[in-house]
Amino acid sequence: MTAQRIDLYSDTHTKPTPAMRRAMAEAEVGDEQQFEDPTVNKLCAMAADLMGKEAAVFLPSGTMCNQIAFRVHCRPGDEIILDYTAHPINAESGGPSALAMAQTRALHTERGIFTADQVRDAIRPSRRHSPSSRVLSVENTTNAGGGSVWPIEDIAAVTAVAREHGMATHMDGARLLNAVVEGGTSAREYGQYFDSLWLDLSKGLGCPIGGVLAGSAEFIDQAWRFKQLLGGAMRQAGIIAAAGVYALEHHVERLAEDHENARAFSRAIAQIPGIRLIFDRCETNLVFFDVAETGLDAAEVEKRLRARGVRIGAMGPTRMRAVTHLDINAEQLGEAADILRDVIA
Ligand SMILES: Cc1ncc(COP(=O)(O)O)c(C=O)c1O
């Protein structure tokens, strides 16, 4: 198979940098199950502080952050309200029903950003034959909504409705720091509206693994029970937590470059006949486009690109997504746009 020189498939495809690997190799470690790993403890303290919460827990993935949060918040028969494109509905193997024993209620939006009225309309009246509306979950940035950043006023409005109805509020922060860097609202400001929120280390931050879930001390205590139950408790995990500490210290501000690169790429491909950008604004590092008017389907375009060393994922019959990240520079993106033009010509 042709080597993929320019990998725009996902920001999860970054490789740890030499400096990050050094930090990992030199990490002080201990038994994290016993809270004796100083590097894990440091990462959790940094993440809790960043998100303005009492405590945090280090988990192997963002998926586990979502699932454990829902498991803590929900009882069987509860309902989680979220956008129809949200990751827990589409890409967590049915986790809400399997693990939290809760069902999901999908809101339909353009960019993954719903309104207070939509939330109000979705909340169930309190009746014994209805599920109980228990959690409101917000994804920031929105993935399938084109990497859009939630404005803080909208967050305040939707979470106020949830709280009026006694619901818990949760933020999926797979790309929270992209939102922070782009929108200028701090993670702490976002955090005040949520009972639980997390950030992913293995996406734009460039770590090989992990997410950090934050909340009140009581919430994190409960989260630890489910971490243990699901086999997510680890031992000398400081080796991987060190990558997270390094990334929080060195890889946050640079996310702005990924956003600039994504905008330049979207402008370049918008000039290619047959390519249509799906979202009118490219806010962060995700560029969605449609290839229907080229007469090719997305799988064929993906195959042709791969043969030329460029990887861009098909996200539907004619929809594709290109993601900028730490391992991609402006020159490579220019080359990728030229190759895209060639392969559909
Ligand atoms: C919005 C969103 N939430 C959650 C996840 C899951 O994160 P992880 O891959 O770390 O499990 C992803 C991963 O792509 C995502 O995009």
pLDDT in tens, 9-30: 999 999 999 999 999 999 999 9
Phi, psi at residue 138, to the nearest 5°? -120, 135
Please tell me the distance between residue 125's alpha carbon and the centre of ligand 1 in angstroms. 31
CATH for the stretch 254-344:
3.90.1150.10
Residues of the chain with CATH 3.40.640.10: 18-250
According to the model, what pLDDT value does residue 1 have?
A: 59
- Residue to probe by mutation, ligand 1, list 87, 148, 285, most atoms within 8 Å of CB: 87
**For range 207-220, the mean pLDDT:** 98
Nearest protein CA to atom 8 of ligand 1, as residue:
62
According to the model, what pLDDT value does residue 3 have?
A: 75
**The dihedral formed by the CA atoms of 57, 61, 67 and 73, expressed in degrees to the nearest 10:** 20
Please tell me the distance between residue 297's alpha carbon and the centre of ligand 1 in angstroms. 26
pLDDT tens for 71-115 read 999 999 999 999 999 999 999 999 999 999 999 999 999 999 999
Residues of the chain with CATH 3.90.1150.10: 254-344
How is domain 18-250 classified at the CATH fold level?
A: Aspartate Aminotransferase; domain 2 (3.40.640)
Please tell me the distance between residue 12's alpha carbon and the centre of ligand 1 in angstroms. 9
Nearest protein CA to atom 15 of ligand 1, as residue:
174
pLDDT tens for 107-148 read 999 999 999 999 999 999 999 999 999 999 999 999 999 999
Buried b (16+ CB within 10 A) or exposed e, 31-61: ebeeeebebbbbbbebbbebbbbebbbbbbb
Nearest protein CA to atom 14 of ligand 1, as residue:
174
CA angle 230, 235, 237 (to 5 degrees): 100
The alpha-carbon radius of gyration of the chain (Å, integer) is 20
**For range 321-345, the mean pLDDT:** 97
